[in-house]
Amino acid sequence: MERTDVVIVGAGGGGAVLGLALAQKGIKNIVLEQAPGPPTGLRGEILQPNGQQILDRLGVLSKLPVDATRSVRYFHFCKVGGAREGACPRGEMPVSAGAGRAGATSPGAGGYEKLCTADYGTLPPPYNRAIVTLPNAAHHAILEALEAAAPGALRYGASFKGLRREGERVVGVDVECGGQTAAISAQLVVGADGAYSKVREALGIPTNLHLYREGYLIAILDSPDGLDEGRYFVGRGEILGLFPAAGRKVYLFDMIPAGSMEQVKAQGLEARQNKWIRIDPSLEKTFRTLTDWKQTAYMPTGRVKTSTWVADGAALIGDAAHAMNPHASQGRMQAMADAMALADLIPKCLEKGDVSAAALGEFERRRRPQVEMLQRLADEQVIFWNTGNPVLAFLRDRVFRTIGRNRRLSYRVLETTAGLRETPPFGLLDRLMAGGFLPDPNADRVEHA
Ligand SMILES: Cc1cc2nc3c(=O)[nH]c(=O)nc-3n(C[C@H](O)[C@H](O)[C@H](O)COP(=O)(O)OP(=O)(O)OC[C@H]3O[C@@H](n4cnc5c(N)ncnc54)[C@H](O)[C@@H]3O)c2cc1C
pLDDT reading at 104 higher than 60:
no
For ligand 1, say whether the CB of 207 is within 6 Å of any of its atoms: no
Q: Which of 32, 200, 319 to mutate to test the pocket of ligand 1 (most atoms within 8 A of CB)?
A: 319
Atom 13 in ligand 1: which residue has the minimum CA distance? 331
Predicted confidence band of residue 82 (pLDDT cuts 50, 70, 90): low
For ligand 1, say whether the CB of 230 is within 6 Å of any of its atoms: no
Whether 174 is covered by a domain: the verdict is yes
Whether 335 is covered by a domain: the verdict is yes
The residue range of the domain holding 238 is 74-128+213-299
Q: Is residue 197 domain-shared with residue 278, that is, in the same domain?
A: no
Q: Is residue 311 domain-shared with residue 220, that is, in the same domain?
A: no
Q: Specify the amino acid at residue 91.
A: G
Q: Is residue 42 domain-shared with residue 86, that is, in the same domain?
A: no
Q: Is residue 18 domain-shared with residue 146, that is, in the same domain?
A: yes
Residue 347 CA to residue 368 CA, distance in Å, equals 21
For ligand 1, say whether the CB of 392 is within 6 Å of any of its atoms: no
For ligand 1, say whether the CB of 301 is within 6 Å of any of its atoms: yes
Task: Please give the distance, rounded to the nearest whole angstrom, from the Cα atom of residue 281 to the centre of ligand 1.
Answer: 33
Task: Please give the distance, rounded to the nearest whole angstrom, from the Cα atom of residue 319 to the centre of ligand 1.
Answer: 6
Whether 384 is covered by a domain: the verdict is no
Q: Is residue 314 domain-shared with residue 198, that is, in the same domain?
A: yes
DSSP for 333-344, please give it.
Answer: HHHHHHHHHHHH
pLDDT at residue 437, rounded to an integer = 93
Give, for 15, the enclosing helix (H) or strand (E). helix 13-24
Q: Is residue 242 domain-shared with residue 157, that is, in the same domain?
A: no
pLDDT reading at 106 higher than 80:
no
Strand pairing category for 230-234 and 296-299: unpaired
pLDDT reading at 86 higher than 70:
no
Whether 433 is covered by a domain: the verdict is yes
pLDDT at residue 42, rounded to an integer = 87
pLDDT reading at 90 higher than 90:
no
Task: Note the pLDDT tens digit of each residue in 160-178.
Answer: 999 999 999 999 999 999 9
Whether 391 is covered by a domain: the verdict is no
> Can you tell me which atom of ligand 1 is nearest the CA of 35?
47
Atom 51 in ligand 1: which residue has the minimum CA distance? 326
**What is the model's pTM?**
0.94
The CATH number covering residue 357 comes to 3.50.50.60
Mean pLDDT of 220-244: 95
Task: Note the pLDDT tens digit of each residue in 276-334.
Answer: 999 999 999 999 999 999 999 999 999 999 999 999 999 999 999 999 999 999 999 99
Task: Note the pLDDT tens digit of each residue in 25-59.
Answer: 999 999 999 999 999 988 768 999 999 999 999 99
> Other CB atoms closer than 10 Å to residue 261's CB: what's the count?
19
Q: Is residue 217 domain-shared with residue 295, that is, in the same domain?
A: yes
pLDDT at residue 225, rounded to an integer = 86
Residue 152 CA to residue 154 CA, distance in Å, equals 6
Burial of 218 (0-12, 13-18, 19+ CB in 10 A): buried
Whether 401 is covered by a domain: the verdict is no
Q: Is residue 256 domain-shared with residue 123, that is, in the same domain?
A: yes
Phi, psi of 344 (to 5 degrees): -70, -30
Q: Is residue 202 domain-shared with residue 292, that is, in the same domain?
A: no
pLDDT at residue 132, rounded to an integer = 96
Contacts of 319 (CB under 8 A, 6+ apart): 12, 14, 194, 195, 197, 304, 331, 335
Mean pLDDT of 135-151: 96
Q: Is residue 261 domain-shared with residue 121, that is, in the same domain?
A: yes
Residue 385 CA to residue 327 CA, distance in Å, equals 9
Whether 68 is covered by a domain: the verdict is no
In total, how many domains does the chain have?
Answer: 3
Sheet holding 239-245, edge to edge: 113-119, 74-79, 230-234, 239-245, 249-257, 214-222, 296-299
Whether 398 is covered by a domain: the verdict is no
Average pLDDT over the chain reads: 93
Instruction: Among 299, 320, 354, identify where a domain stops.
Output: 299
Q: Specify the amino acid at residue 132.
A: V
Instruction: Among 283, 299, 315, identify where a domain stops.
Output: 299
For ligand 1, say whether the CB of 14 is within 6 Å of any of its atoms: yes
Q: Do the Cβ atoms of 50 and 172 come closer than 8 Å?
A: no
**What's 67's DSSP letter?**
G
Instruction: Among 279, 299, 319, identify where a domain stops.
Output: 299
**Half-sphere exposure for 73 (CA within 13 Å, toward CB):** 12
Q: Is residue 321 domain-shared with residue 418, that is, in the same domain?
A: no
pLDDT reading at 251 higher than 50:
yes
Task: Please give the distance, rounded to the nearest whole angstrom, from the Cα atom of residue 53 to the centre of ligand 1.
Answer: 19
Q: Is residue 207 domain-shared with residue 217, that is, in the same domain?
A: no
Residue 256 CA to residue 214 CA, distance in Å, equals 6
pLDDT at residue 81, rounded to an integer = 84
> Can you tell me which atom of ligand 1 is nearest the CA of 46?
8
